[in-house]
Structure 1
Amino acid sequence: ADVAILGEPTSGLIEAGCQGTLRVRLTAAGVRAHSARSWMGDNAIHKLGGVLTTLAAYQPRRVDIDGCEYREGLSAVAIGGGVAGNVIPDAAHVDVNFRFAPDRSIDTALAHVREVFAEHLDSGLVTLELTDSAAGALPGLAHPAAAALVEAAAGRFRAKYGWTDVSRFSALGIPAVNLGPGDPSLAHRADERVPVSQIREVTDLLRGYLSR
């Protein structure tokens, strides 16, 4: 293909490249006991306290790549554990999602996550397992087809926050951008919506581009 256009919500702007993503599960083990005799058990949930403290204090990186600022994020997205209201839990876990700039590979991103949690891993209190990953994509706006799209969009472009299929096309050597109506800041919210005016704006932009 000459170019791929992903209809992700971008507020009608060109959003270049995409972040990479990986998820890890940090697991703690303990010993069950009746909560009335808590000293006889080993609370697995309590062992995750340090992990959550580390996450709360984490300072994400910002990096500029070809005029696009990518902001990284390391976040707890799920947590589980517990047996019953009167039992010290013997197992608990927290799932962590790392959204990383496309100048990192999956391997370097995973190495960074391991470094962030090194204190907890080295102590033996928790273990880390990679459960999901996908590489990001560099902006790639220097390609003539992508540059023509930017020109059609009046030169307006920015980084794409989130993973999209731009990554798959880029891996195949096909220039790709994200362009669609709808505010990406509203994604996954209850008030997510798409203004009709943006649908018309993006449609007109693409018609103009394709008629060249």
Structure 2
Amino acid sequence: MPAEVPVLDLSVSSVELTQQLCDIASVSGDEARIADAIEASLEGLGHLTIVRDGDTVVASTSLGRAQRVIIAGHIDTVPINGNVPTRFEERDGQAMLWGRGTVDMKGGVAVQLKLAAELTDPIVDITWMWYDNEEVASDLNGLGRLARNRPDLFVGDFAILGEPSNAGVEGGCNGTLRVHVSAHGKRSHAARSWVGVNAIHAISPVLATLASYTPREVEVDGLVYREGVNAVGITGGVAGNVIPDLVTVEVNYRFAPSRTGAEALAHLEELFSGFEVVQTDVAEGARPGLDAPIAQDFLAAVGGTPAPKYGWTDVARFSALGVPAVNYGPGDPLLAHADDERVPLAHIEDCERGLRAWLTGPDGR
């Protein structure tokens, strides 16, 4: 017997809607119930055309406006760890909603859903996207799948991703590259180590390079991006009495969007010259996208000073398709995935107010 579809009430405040969404468990790979709930909540709204692709839900207006904006948010979370159901509690004089998904990123999803339902006459056409499997491997990402299946839905002049950004605008994002850096040796009995070559000892210059590395700060289109090159894993060793013949350090490079993935790889190959360097994963960064006139109108409406996004987000997917994109959502990204994940209620309200002001224009229609 199919599970009952949870009911979302889009008439309540965006704060209350955030709690409703967070209390529907939707760990990556298990988003069907929340996708069903989102789809059901939008059915019957005459100004929206609904498309379902797996557990991704798309709702679009077709008002014949001169410009189209894409506004997206992912509906999955990392695993729950005793932090659902959510609760309201004050911290440091701020009213907070605590629990998994409050920051990453159901507060943003709630704002988007409420506005999708209420804005029947926006000044631009809007394509709203709520997608699955953002928190896991890139090849499972619902936004990527949707782009492959329905590229027509990605035609737009500007995109906003509701990732947590402290209710401010964060432009573009760093790229990310992972490589395996390996040293080879020769096995021997540990009692006769002079017969072998210890690969773990041989990798020490790589570790020294990482420990002394000074990451760049790079200005791109007026925003300063901080890079980072770090060891995130190390494997080696055979047994307690064997000199190891292989050791591999996994290195993650977060590179500014002024560099391509190929240029980032070339940098690591130069940095670890003399060692085997094998790329295992790469995701291109995205330039800020703030120079377009529509982006300037958005900034003027929501206010504040834009900042760079240091972590990789799906704005890069839009950027790769030629659609300038920014991050704009409630919550502190430093609390994303934390067991004490919590969002200030004011962040949710501010993001709703900012988006509503921009999408309805100065006349507030």
- State the TM-score, normalizing by the size of structure 2: 0.54
Check the 8 A contact 2:179/2:250 in 1, yes or no. yes
Are 2:229 and 1:74 aligned?
Answer: yes
81-90 or 4-13, which moves further after superposition? Answer: 81-90
Distance 1:49 1:189 in 2: 33
Name stretches of at least 5 consecutive residues in structure 1 with no aligned partner: none
Check the 8 A contact 1:145/1:175 in 2, yes or no. no
Residue in 2 that maps onto 1:48: 203
Distance 2:265 2:333 in 1: 26
Which of the residues 150, 159, 169 maps onto 2:299? 150
Which of the residues 8, 11, 20 maps onto 2:166? 11
Distance 2:234 2:348 in 1: 38
Are 2:271 and 1:116 aligned?
Answer: yes
Residue in 2 that maps onto 1:25: 180
SS of structure 2 residue aligned to 1:45: helix
Instruction: Call closer, same or farther: CA 1:172–1:24 in 2, change over 3 Å.
Output: same
| Residues 1-212 of structure 1 aligned to structure 2 (within 5 Å) | 1-118=156-273, 121=274, 126-212=275-361
Instruction: Call closer, same or farther: CA 1:75–1:192 in 2, change over 3 Å.
Output: farther
Instruction: Call closer, same or farther: CA 1:98–1:190 in 2, change over 3 Å.
Output: same
Check the 8 A contact 1:31/1:43 in 2, yes or no. yes
Deviation at 1:187, TM superposition (A): 3.6
Name stretches of at least 5 consecutive residues in structure 2 with no aligned partner: 1-155
% identical aligned pairs: 56
Distance 2:191 2:343 in 1: 54
Distance 1:174 1:183 in 2: 25
Structure of higher CA gyration radius: 2
SS of structure 1 residue aligned to 2:203: helix
- State the TM-score, normalizing by the size of structure 1: 0.90
Instruction: Call closer, same or farther: CA 1:201–1:107 in 2, change over 3 Å.
Output: same
Residue in 1 that maps onto 2:18: none
Deviation at 1:190, TM superposition (A): 4.3
Query: How many residues matched?
Result: 206
